[in-house]
Amino acid sequence: MGRGAGSVEAQLKTLSHAGVRIALDDFGTGYASLSHLSQFPVDLLKIDQSFVRDLTKKGEAAAIAAAIVNLGHCLGLEVVAEGIETEMQAARLLAMGCDAAQGYLYSRAVAAASVPRILAQWRQPVKAIAAS
């Protein structure tokens, strides 16, 4: 965001005041920094898929994901995990208190018109994954 941060901040505040929810994408990577949390009107943190991918393989990835969830909740933000591909990843994130998830485990990208059909066919609610 660098040089244009002042302009970005003004535009994001305008959108936020209009009711648009603002997500800080790829949080935990070099593109989204802690300073953005206080500079911009952020509503959601999105845990970068690189941490989700290594969640069950590397302790560092799990620690970072848990820290992002905790930080988000301490700031009153919703936390979304990106790139969930396995039920084990989903269960770990749910146990950490992650609020929402997206990834190929649930669906590939589809046209908006297809969403109602996909939701009607969904076989189990996300919360049930942690119980299995």
Can you tell me the distance from the alpha carbon of 130 to that of 125, in angstroms, rounded to the nearest whole number? 10
| Residue tagged active-site, from 9, 60, 78, 82 | 82
Residue recorded with tokens 């084990």: 88
Contact of 79 with 102, CB cutoff 8 Å: no
Signed CA dihedral, 89, 66, 82, 55: sign only: negative
Contact of 109 with 74, CB cutoff 8 Å: no
Contact of 39 with 5, CB cutoff 8 Å: yes
Can you tell me the distance from the alpha carbon of 34 to that of 17, in angstroms, rounded to the nearest whole number? 22
User: Is 87 a known active-site residue?
Assistant: no
User: Would you please indicate which residues are annotated as catalytic (active-site) residues?
Assistant: 82
